[in-house]
Structure 1
C-alpha cells in the first residue's frame, strides 16, 4: 500500500511543484527583487503565524483520524480552528494598534491572510490524507495549485507586485476549501467529548510548539537576510530558497504523506514490528526520491540559473543553490523521517528539545555568518544548522520509537546516485546550442542514469511498482473500452 500511496502523492505534490516552478520562473522574470522580497517576507511571516495557530490542529488530525476507519475528529478540528481564528484576529488588531508606526499594515495583513487561508486548507486536506484517500488528496491539491499559479501569474503580469501574488495565492486556498469533496459533509458532526478534546489538544499543542520552532528555523535565514542585508537581498535569497523548496520539500511531503498515516495505523493494529518494517521501506523511498533532486541542484546550478531564474537573480542563485539543496536534503530527512519517532512514541517533549537545539544552532550561525559573508553566509548557516539538527534528532530518537536505518537499502540508492552524478558531470562538460538545451540534456542524462541503476538494483521495489502500475492501466483501459462499446 505504501508504494501505491507514494506514487499518488508524488503526483499530488509533484505536479503542484512543477506548476510552482513555472510560477517561480515568471515571478523572477517579472517582479523586481524588492517586490519579490515583500512576497518572501509575507509568506515567511505567514508560515510562522500559521504554524503558531494551526499546525497543532493538523498534527492532531493526522494522529487520531488515521487510527481507524471509524475515527471522526471533524468537530474538534472545527472548534479548534475557529478559536485560533479569533485569536489571530485579535493579534492582528493589537499588532496594528501597538506597532502602527514600525510595521507596515500591508505586510501584517498579507501575512495574516496567507496564514488563515493556508492553515484552513491544510487542515481540511489533512483529513483526506489521514483517511487514506490519496486520489481525493491529489485532485484537490492539483486544482488548488493550478488556480494559485494562474492567479499568481496573472497578478504578477498585471503589475500588482508581491501583495498581488499573496492575495491571489490566498484566494486559491479559499477556493480549494470550497471544492466538492474537500470537506466531508456526508454525515453529521459527532458530539464533542471533553476526553477527546483534551487528548486532541494535549497531543497537538506540544508538537505545535516544536512546529513553531522548526518554522522559525526554516524562516530565520530569510529573516536574517532581510534584517542584515535588506529587502532586495532577501528577494534574491528567497528565490534560491523557493526553488529548492519547490523541487525538494514538496516532493518529500509526498512520501511522508504515505509514511505517517500508515505508520500510525500499523502501530495501532499490528504492533511495533509492522510499524518498523513500514518505516524502513518509507526511508528508502524518501531518500530515493529526494536525494536525486538534491544531487541535480548541487551539480547543475549554472544550467538552472541561466534558464529558470530571472537575470536580476541569476548570479547569486548560481552560488546559493548547491548549499541550499544540501540543506534541504538533511532537513527533509529530519522533518519527514526522524520526527515520526517522537510522534509514534507520543513523546512531544523530545521533538521540542530537538527543535530548540536546531533553533539555537540556526540563530548562532546566522548571527556570525550573515553579516560577514552575506547571502553565502546565510546559506552556509542554513546547511550547518540542518546537519546539526539532524544529528541531535537521531540521538534523541533513541528515546522515542526506534527508527530503522536500513543500510542495505540505502546502499542501493547510493550506487544509483553515483551513476547519476557521473552522467551529470559528463553532460556539464559538453557544449550545447543554448542554455535550455543544456538544461534539458542534463536532465535527460541524469534521469537516464539514475532510473537505469534504480531499475537494475530494484530501488524501492521499483520493478514491482512498475508492474502493478502497468496492470492497473491495462485494467482501466479495458474497463473503459468495454463501457464504451456496451453504450453503443
Structure 2
C-alpha cells in the first residue's frame, strides 16, 4: 500500500511543483517586482483571514476521523464548512459596509479563503480515506489552473488583485476535481456526535492557526511597510520557491507515511505506527539535506534561470537563512505537527504557535527596520526554531528519544559529501556544462544510494519492476 501511495502522491506533487515553479517564474516576470510584491502582501492578508475563519476545520476533521463512521463525519464536516463560508461572506460584506475594507479587496480575500477552504476540505477527505489517485487528480488540476488563470489575469489586466483572484478561482477548480472523494457519502445524515468531535478537536486550533498565520506572514507585512513592495517581491518569490521545493517532497512523505501511521495509531497498532514515523523521519532528513546541498551549489544559475539575475543577486546573501528556515519548517509542520493529530495534541499546537508568533513578531519589529530582508528571514527562522523546540521538549520521553538520529546523521553527511564533491569538480574543471553534468550525475547517484540503503519512499519496491525488466533483457541477450 505504501508503494502505491508514494507513486501517486510523489508523481502528482512533483508534477504540480514543477507547474507551480513555472507559474511563479512567469508571474514574477509578467508582473514585475512591484505587482508581485503587492500580490504577496494580498496573499498574506488572505492567509491570516483563512486562519481566523475556516482553516481549523481541515485539521480537526483529520484528528477526529474514524473509519467506522466515515459517511456521517464527512457529510457533517462539509455542512459545517458551508455554514462557515456563509458566515465569512456575511462578515466580509459587513467589513465593506462599514468601510473597513475596500470592495475589491473583500472580494479577493473571500475568493481566496473560500477556494482554499473548499480545496483543503476535498483534499483532506480524499487523503484521509486513502484515495491516492483522486488526490493526485486534484493536485494536478489545481496547479494547471493556477498557471492558466494567472497568465490570463496578468495578460488581460495586470494587477495584484487580478492575480489573487486567479489563485482563488484555481483552488475552486481543484476542489471540483476532488468531488469524487465525497460523492458516495455527501447525502449521509447529520451527526451530532461527529459535530461535537469536530468542534472539540478544533477549539484549540482556531487560536493556534490564527497566531501561527500571523507569525508566518508578519515578516512580509513588516518588510512591505519598511522597505516597500519592490523588496517584498524578490524576498517572497525566492522564499516561496525554496518552500515549494521542500513542500513537494514533504507532502508526498506525509501522504505516504503519516496518514498510514495515524491509522495504525488510532487502531492500537502502536509498533507499526512507530516504524512508519521513524521511516518518515529518515525521509524528511534526506529531503532537507539533499535539497540544501543542491540549492546551495546551483543557486546562482538556478535562480537566474527562474527569476532573472537581479533577484538572484538580491537574495544571495540571505539564501542560507532561507534554506535553514524551510528545513526547520518541514520538521515542524510536516512531521511533529502531523504527529500531534495522532496524540490529541491540539493544546501543544497552540503553545508552539504562540511561541512562534511572539518570537517572529518581536524579531521582525527589531531586525527588519535595520536589516531589511535579512532581518525578515532571520525572524521567521527563529520563530520556526522555537516552535520546533516546543514539540521536542513536550515529546522528549516518547517520540523524540526513539527517532533514528544515527541514520539521519549518515544521510546529512552523505548530502554534505555530495555538495563537497560538486564544489571540488567546479574547482578542478571550472564552472561549466561538463562539471555541472558530472556533478549532477554524482549527486543523483549518491542520493539514489542513500534512498536505497534506507528504503526512502519505498524506492526499493518501486524500482523492482525496472530491475526485473533489465535482468530479463540481460538473460535474453545472453541466450
TM-score by length of 1: 0.88
1:482 matched residue in structure 2:
none
1:166 match:
164
Q: 2:453 matched to 1:457?
A: yes
How many Å apart are 1:156 and its aligned residue?
2.6
Q: Which segment drifts farther, 373-382 or 406-415?
A: 406-415
Q: CA deviation at 1:36?
A: 0.3
What is the TM-score of this pair, normalised by structure 2?
A: 0.89
* CA displacement at 1:396 relative to structure 2: 1.9
What's 2:129 paired with? 131
* 1:68 counterpart = 2:64: no
Correspondences of 1:318-357 after superposition (within 5 Å): 318-357=316-355
The aligned counterpart of 2:473 is: none
TM-aligned CA distance change 1:438 to 1:200, over 3 Å: farther
User: Does the residue aligned with 1:71 lie in a helix, a strand or coil?
Assistant: helix
CA contact (8 A) 2:31 2:159 kept: yes
Deviation per CA, 1:247-295, whole angstroms, max 9, x where unpaired?
A: 1123312211223321221012243222212111111112222331133
Tell me the equivalent position of 1:241.
239
The number of residues matched between the two structures is: 468
Which string of whole-angstrom CA distances, capped at 9 and with x for unpartnered residues, describes residues 25-46 of structure 1? 1122221211101211122222
CA distance in 1 between counterparts of 2:439 and 2:134 reads 31
Give the corresponding residue for 2:221: 223
Structure 1 range deviating more: 395-404 or 189-198: 395-404
Aligned with residue 444 of structure 2, among 424, 448, 468: 448
2:17 matched residue in structure 1? 17
Runs of 5+ in structure 1 lacking a partner? 475-488
1:36 & 1:461 partners in 2: Cα distance? 35
Instruction: Tell me, yes or no, if structure 1 residue 466 matches structure 2 residue 466.
Output: no
User: 1:342 and 1:4 mapped to 2: Cα distance?
Assistant: 25
Change (3 A) 1:407 1:262: same
* Cα offset, 1:372, TM superposition: 0.8
Q: Give, in angstroms, the shift of residue 426 of structure 1.
A: 3.0
CA distance, structure 2, for counterparts of residue 58 and residue 400 of structure 1: 26
Query: Residues 169 and 309 from structure 1, CA distance in 2 versus in 1: closer, same or farther, beyond 3 angstroms?
Result: same
**Deviation at residue 107 of structure 1 after TM alignment:** 3.2
Gap regions ≥5 residues in structure 2: 471-479
- Give the superposition deviation at 1:356: 0.7
Of 452-461 and 21-30, deviating more is 452-461
Q: Structure 2 vs 1, CA of residues 445 and 267 (structure 1 numbering), >3 Å: closer, same or farther?
A: same
Who is 1:364 aligned against? 362
User: Secondary structure at 2:307's aligned position in 1?
Assistant: coil
User: Residues 60-99 of structure 1: matches in 2 within 5 Å?
Assistant: 60-65=60-65, 67-68=66-67, 71-72=70-71, 73-99=73-99
Note the C-alpha offset of 1:400.
Answer: 7.5
Q: CA RMSD in A?
A: 2.7
Structure 1 residue 118: Cα displacement: 1.5
Given the superposition, is the C-alpha separation of residues 319 and 382 from structure 1 closer, same or farther in structure 2, using an over 3 Å criterion?
A: same
User: Post-superposition shift, 1:402?
Assistant: 6.1
The structure-2 alpha-carbon separation of the partners of 1:471 and 1:204, relative to structure 1 and needing over 3 Å to count, comes to farther
